[in-house]
Amino acid sequence: MKTKVWTVDVKRDLSTNCPQIAQAARLLQQNETVAFPTETVYGLGANAKHSEAVAKIYEAKGRPSDNPLIVHIAEIEQLAEFAEVDSPQAEMLMKRFWPGPLTLVLPCKPGVLSTRVTAGLDTVAVRMPDHPVALELIRQAGVPVAAPSANLSGKPSPTKAEHVVNDLNGRIAGVVDGGPTGVGVESTVVSCTGEIPVILRPGGVTKEQLEEAAGPVLIDQGLTDEKKAPMSPGMKYTHYAPEAPLAIVNGGVEDIQRLIDQYQKDGMKVGVLTTEERADVYQADAVRICGRRDRLETVAAGLYDVLRSFDEERLDFIFAESFPEEGVGRAIMNRLLKAAGHRVIEA
């Protein structure tokens, strides 16, 4: 399969009829897969009502079939066709955060969506992305669009169209290139099927923001307690991993430099993930800067690109600084821990 790439200049092309998006939407209607930008990461979309279309997503990504997909909508009116909204908190959260990086897990109405989307569960994850290209594409496709991140399963999620092409060229029908994405980590997933909402995956919207809008919110214990299974099927899989093994270091600059020196002395090629504030302090084979520590949203925005960029260096080991688990820092640490396979060095 030849993968078509359409370039869309968000400012210039969307003010008129955009033939690139029309062509991409037609492919979705023909039950093909199309990758597109959202405000979080690039998604790989397919018609959520059609099982063969949805099967193509799992196949292209090599995604385990028990890991359900997020359904993307462009208008709130699309929701009632396939989901129940009987939780007052869900309504408040939608009103406050849609379009935006928040996914809600709601009871699913049977018989509308392909059962492959929900991996057979009786709930469905839904969100309305805050990106003009994504919204226009979904609108023109005229169907709810199932879309996980557009990477090979296990790799860091794509924040640029070139990441999608690197992973999926020849495996999907097309990519709409709308430039780099903004938030950089995936949506926050919140289950609204019980009395109190539960965060199943930390992301672009923080716990503090959720609580301000809808009252108390819990965090799935399975995310932090290794002995408990996570409530969200996808959270049990290894993810975001660069090719070289990675460890998070709880310690200062000197501790990390000492580890680098030690590993280099053993003949290893060593990388380090740090931020602008400490750009010049490390001596390593690859020093990668990811945003500013005093503005954690910039770390989130750059994280996957930096994780991917280590692969160019053919390293033997990578050390990453750790980040405070507050605000979007929770999502950053959740992704880093997965990238590290939970390897943490207490220095």
As annotated, the binding site for L-threonine includes 40, 72, 127, 147, 187
Of 223 and 318, the one with the shorter C-beta distance to ligand AMP is 223
User: In this structure, how many other beta carbons lie within 10 angstroms of the beta carbon of residue 114?
Assistant: 18
Please give the C-alpha separations between residue 225 and each of 126, 230, 242, 287, in angstroms, as whole numbers: 26, 9, 24, 31
Distance CA 156, CA 271 (A): 17
- In what helix (H) or strand (E) does residue 212 lie, and over which residues does it extend? helix 207-214
Q: Which residue is nearest to ligand AMP (CB)?
A: 234
- 46 neighbors 145 (Cβ within 8 angstroms): yes
**Is residue 121 a contact point for ligand AMP (CB under 6 A)?**
yes
Within 232-261, which residues bind ligand AMP (CB under 6 A)? 232-235
CB 69, min distance to ligand AMP, A: 6
Residue positions in the annotated binding site for ATP? 63, 67, 123, 149, 157, 201, 240
CB 217, min distance to ligand AMP, A: 16
Of 131 and 288, the one with the shorter C-beta distance to ligand AMP is 131
Distance CA 259, CA 239 (A): 24
Rg (CA), the chain: 20
Which member of 31, 78, 114, 149 binds Mg ion (CB under 5 A)? 149
**Is residue 288 a contact point for ligand AMP (CB under 6 A)?**
no
Please give the C-alpha separations between residue 196 and each of 85, 121, 215, in angstroms, as whole numbers: 14, 20, 9
Of 128 and 286, the one with the shorter C-beta distance to ligand AMP is 128
Task: Tell me which stretch binds Mg ion (CB under 5 A): 87-95, 118-126, 145-153, 284-292.
Answer: 145-153
Mutual orientation of helices 207-214 and 88-97 as an angle, nearest 10°? Answer: 120
Query: Which residues are near ligand AMP by CB under 6 A?
Result: 67-70, 105, 118, 121, 123-125, 148-149, 186, 189, 200-201, 232-235
